[in-house]
Amino acid sequence: MSHYVPNIDYLIIFLYLVMLVSIGIYSYKKDTSYEDFILAGRGMTTPMLISTMVSTYYGLDILFGSSEMAFNDGLMAFFGYALSTLVFYLFIAYYMADKLRSANFISLPEILEKAYGRKTSSIGAISSMVYCLPTTSLFALGRVSEFVFGVDAHYGAFILGGIALAYTLLGGLKAVAITDTIQFSLMCITVAVGVPLLVYEIGGFVAIQELVPTGHFKLFGTVPPWLLIAYASSSLAVLIDPSLYQRIFAARSARQARNAILTSTVIWTTFDWLVVAGGIAALAAVTSGILSSNVHPNDAFLIAVTYALPIGLSGIFLAGVIATAMSTIDGYTLVAGSNISYDMYRPLVNPEATDAQLVKATKIGIVIAWTLGYIIAFQFDRIMALLIFVTTVITSTVFVPVLMALFYRGKKTSLAGLLSCGAGLASVLIFYVGMSQIGDYNQTWGTYIFSFSIGGNTFSIWQEYALFFCLPISLLGFFVGNIFGSKIEEASLEGEAL
Amino acid sequence: MTGWDLFTIICSIFLGSSGVILLYVFLRDAYRDRMANKKNVKQ
Whole-angstrom Cα distance, residue A396 to residue A191? 34
Whole-angstrom Cα distance, residue A115 to residue A493? 9
pLDDT surpassing 70 at residue A386: yes
Residue A2 has a pLDDT of 56
pLDDT surpassing 50 at residue A370: yes
Query: One-letter amino acid identity for A101?
Result: R
Residue A83 has a pLDDT of 82
pLDDT surpassing 80 at residue A375: yes
3-class DSSP assignment, residue A280:
helix
Of A415, A421, A404, nearest in space to A470 by CA: A421
3-class DSSP assignment, residue A85:
helix
CB distance from A262 to chain B under 8 Å? no
10-residue mean pLDDT series, chain B (43 residues): 91 91 79 74 66
Q: Which residues of A touch B5 (CB under 8 A)?
A: 199, 204-205
pLDDT surpassing 80 at residue A192: yes
Looking only at the bridges linking them, the beta strands covering A440-442 and A457-462 are: unpaired
Q: Which of A16-25, A205-214, A314-323, A393-402 has the lowest mean pLDDT?
A: A16-25
Of A119, A254, A271, nearest in space to A186 by CA: A271
Comparing A346 with A364, which gets the higher pLDDT? A364
Which helix or strand (DSSP H or E) is residue A113 part of?
Answer: helix A108-116
Q: What is the distance, to the nearest Å, from the Cα of residue A140 to the centroid of all Cα atoms in its chain? A: 12
Residue A32 has a pLDDT of 61
Q: Do B23 and A204 touch (CB under 8 A)?
A: no
Whole-angstrom Cα distance, residue A185 to residue A372? 30
Which range of A61-65, A89-93, A178-182 scores highest in mean pLDDT? It is A89-93
- With beta carbons less than 8 A apart as the criterion, state whether A190 and A313 touch: yes
- DSSP state for residue A251 in the 8-state scheme: B
Helix then strand then coil, in percent of chain B rounded to 5, is 95, 0, 5
Query: One-letter amino acid identity for A450?
Result: F
Q: Between chain A and chain B, how many beta carbons pairs sit less than 8 Å apart?
A: 81
Q: Which residues of A touch B6 (CB under 8 A)?
A: none
- DSSP state for residue A295 in the 8-state scheme: -
Cα atoms in the Cβ-side hemisphere of radius 13 Å centred on A492:
4
Query: One-letter amino acid identity for A138?
Result: L
Give the CA dihedral A141, A144, A148, A149, nearest 10 degrees.
50
Comparing A254 with A398, which gets the higher pLDDT? A398
Residue A163 has a pLDDT of 83
Q: Do B15 and A270 touch (CB under 8 A)?
A: yes
3-class DSSP assignment, residue A6:
coil
pLDDT surpassing 60 at residue A288: yes
Count of helices and strands (H, E) across chain A: 21, 3
Q: Which residues of B touch A180 (CB under 8 A)?
A: none
pLDDT surpassing 70 at residue A166: yes
pLDDT by residue (tens digit) across A219-234?
Answer: 877 777 777 787 777 7
What is the value of pTM for the model shown?
0.78
Mean pLDDT, to the nearest integer, of A161-175?
Answer: 76
Comparing A438 with B28, which gets the higher pLDDT? A438
Helix residue spans in A341-413 (DSSP H): 355-377, 383-407
pLDDT by residue (tens digit) across A291-304?
Answer: 888 787 877 888 88
pLDDT by residue (tens digit) across A249-287?
Answer: 888 888 888 988 898 889 889 999 999 999 999 999 999
Q: Do A204 and B2 touch (CB under 8 A)?
A: yes
CB distance from A187 to chain B under 8 Å? yes
pLDDT surpassing 60 at residue A240: yes
- With beta carbons less than 8 A apart as the criterion, state whether A140 and A380 touch: no
At residue A408, what are phi and psi to the nearest 5 degrees?
Answer: -85, 120
Which helix or strand (DSSP H or E) is residue A321 part of?
Answer: helix A313-340
pLDDT by residue (tens digit) across A137-150?
Answer: 888 888 888 878 88
A240's torsion region: left (phi>0), alpha (psi -120 to 50) or beta? Answer: alpha
Mean pLDDT, to the nearest integer, of A123-150?
Answer: 84
Residue A497 has a pLDDT of 39
3-class DSSP assignment, residue A441:
strand
Q: What is the pLDDT confidence band of residue A419, given thresholds at 50, 70 and 90? A: very high
Whole-angstrom Cα distance, residue A37 to residue A15? 26
| Average pLDDT over chain A, rounded to an integer | 82
Q: What is the pLDDT confidence band of residue A20, given thresholds at 50, 70 and 90? A: confident
pLDDT surpassing 60 at residue A1: no
Q: What is the distance, to the nearest Å, from the Cα of residue A182 to the centroid of all Cα atoms in its chain? A: 19
Q: How far is A182 from chain B (nearest CA, A)?
A: 7
